[in-house]
Amino acid sequence: MPHDPIRYRPHHFLCSLGFQGKGYSDGFTANMAAIVDACLRAPGGDDTLIEVVGATDDICTPCPKRRGALCESQDKIARLDARHARALGLFVGNTITWGEAKRRMVKRVPPGALTGLCAGCQWLDLGLCETALSALHAKHGTQGACEDQ
């Protein structure tokens, strides 16, 4: 597990929850697998520190859509990040653990919420993130419940 925090833009928290080996390119997919599968989902992964950033992050590094510190779809990504930051109670500069991120997902993002939260995301229709979110809620016994938003 890395000692330095992983850097994440807000929408990548839920993307990581639903990640199933698909991505924009082979390099992007390999990088995301190295972060998600080898770090966050590994034993002790819930203790991994993640720093919230407002531009490209460690997942974006090999993305073919990256343009310096921004994305070729920056306006769409900025709106996505803003919705996710609001939903998860995140601010640029926050550092939280992956375990805390998952607790926030359970507490603040009910099953079915991704249709609005992730509007415009090309991966939404695959249902991977919604399936993962529902499974996270089921694991924590909160299916269909949204506590204290």
Q: What is the pLDDT of residues 35-60, one digit of tens each?
A: 999 999 999 999 999 999 999 999 98
Contact 56, 66 (CB under 8 A): yes
What pLDDT sits at residue 15? 94
CB under 8 Å to 17, separation ≥6 — which residues?
102, 105, 129, 132, 133, 136
131 occurs within a structural domain: yes
Establish if 1 belongs to a structural domain.
no
Assess if residue 144 is contained within a domain.
Answer: no
Q: What is the pLDDT of residue 147?
A: 41
Higher pLDDT, 24 or 18: 18
Asked if residue 21 is part of any domain, the answer here is yes
Alpha-carbon span 133 to 10, nearest angstrom:
16
105: in domain: yes
Q: How many domains does the chain have?
A: 1
- Give residue 146's pLDDT: 43
* pLDDT at residue 148 in the model: 37
For residue 149, being part of any structural domain is answered with no
- Is residue 108 included in any domain, yes or no? yes
In the prediction, which pLDDT does 142 show? 60
pLDDT greater than 70 at residue 149: no
* 145 assigned to some structural domain: no
pTM above threshold 0.75: yes
Domain range spanning residue 28?
Answer: 6-139
